[in-house]
Amino acid sequence: MMFKNKPLILLVSLLLIAGFILSACASDTGPQAPAGTEDTRPVTGEDSPSGSETADVRSKGDPDAPVTIVEYSDFQCPYCSRWVLDTYPTLLEEYIDTGKVRLEFRDFPLNFHPNADEAAIATRCAAEQGAYWEMHDRLFESQAGWANLPDTGEAFASYADDLGLDVEAFEQCLNSGRYDEALVEDLQAGQAAGVSGTPSFLINGQLLVGAQPAQVFRQAIDTVLAGGELNTGQPQAEAPPPEPFDISIEGAAIKGDPNAPMTIIEYSDYQCPFCSRFVLQTMPALVQEYIDSGQAKLVFKDFPLTSIHPQAQKASEATRCVRELTGNDDSYWAMHDLLFEGQQEWGNSRAPEIFAGYAEQLGVARDDFSACLESGQFADAVKADLEEGVALGVRGTPTFFLNGQAFVGAQPITNFRQAIAAVEAGQNIQPPPPPTPAPRPTPAPLPQDVPLDDAAGIVGNPDAPITIVEYSDYQCPFCQRHVQQTMPGLQKYIEDGTVKYVFKDFPLLSIHPQAAKASEAARCAGDQDAYWEMHDRLFAGQQQWSGNPAAVDVYKGYADQLNLDRTTFDACLDGGTYSDVVMANLQEGSGFGIQGTPGFFVNRQPLPGAYPIEAFEALIQAELDR
Q: Is the predicted pLDDT of residue 47 greater than 80, yes or no?
A: no
pLDDT at residue 33 in the model:
26
pLDDT at residue 253 in the model:
92
Flag the least confident range among 59-63, 94-98, 190-194, 294-298.
Answer: 190-194
- The better pLDDT of the pair 144, 577 is held by 577
Q: Is the predicted pLDDT of residue 234 greater than 60, yes or no?
A: no
Helix (H) or strand (E) holding 503: strand 499-505
pLDDT at residue 507 in the model:
92
Question: Could you read off the pLDDT of 2-29 as tens digits, one per residue?
Answer: 334 443 333 322 223 333 333 333 333 2
- The better pLDDT of the pair 246, 56 is held by 246
Report, as an integer, the average pLDDT of 417-434.
Answer: 74
- The better pLDDT of the pair 12, 622 is held by 622
Q: Is the predicted pLDDT of residue 441 greater than 80, yes or no?
A: no
Question: Could you read off the pLDDT of 543-582 as tens digits, one per residue?
Answer: 889 888 889 999 999 999 999 999 999 999 999 999 999 9
Question: Could you read off the pLDDT of 253-279 as tens digits, one per residue?
Answer: 999 999 999 999 999 999 988 898 899
Q: What is the mean pLDDT of the chain?
A: 83
CB atoms within 10 A of CB 300: 23
pLDDT at residue 279 in the model:
92
How far is residue 52 from each of residues 49, 179, 431, measured CA to CA in Å? 9, 15, 32
Q: Output DSSP code: residue 47.
A: S
For the chain, how big is the Rg over CA atoms in Å? 26
Measure CA of the first residue to CA of the last residue in the chain; give whole Å: 21
Q: What percent of the chain has pLDDT over 70?
A: 86
- The better pLDDT of the pair 626, 498 is held by 498
pLDDT band for 246, please (50, 70, 90 cuts).
Answer: confident
Q: Is the predicted pLDDT of residue 55 greater than 50, yes or no?
A: no
How far is residue 332 from each of residues 129, 253, 358, 364, measured CA to CA in Å? 56, 7, 11, 11
- The better pLDDT of the pair 51, 131 is held by 131
pLDDT at residue 242 in the model:
52
Spatial distance between the Cα atoms of 75 and 251, rounded to a whole number of angstroms: 47
Flag the least confident range among 110-114, 169-173, 313-317, 516-520.
Answer: 110-114
Estimate to the nearest angstrom the gap between the alpha carbon of 102 and the chain centroid: 32
Taking the CA atoms of 77, 83, 88 and 94 in sequence, report the sign of the dihedral they define. negative
pLDDT band for 51, please (50, 70, 90 cuts).
Answer: very low
- The better pLDDT of the pair 394, 444 is held by 394
Q: What percent of the chain has pLDDT over 90?
A: 51
pLDDT at residue 6 in the model:
41
Report, as an integer, the average pLDDT of 526-538.
Answer: 96
pLDDT at residue 22 in the model:
32
Estimate to the nearest angstrom the gap between the alpha carbon of 358 and the chain centroid: 35
Spatial distance between the Cα atoms of 192 and 34, rounded to a whole number of angstroms: 8
Q: Is the predicted pLDDT of residue 395 greater than 60, yes or no?
A: yes
Q: Is the predicted pLDDT of residue 515 greater than 50, yes or no?
A: yes
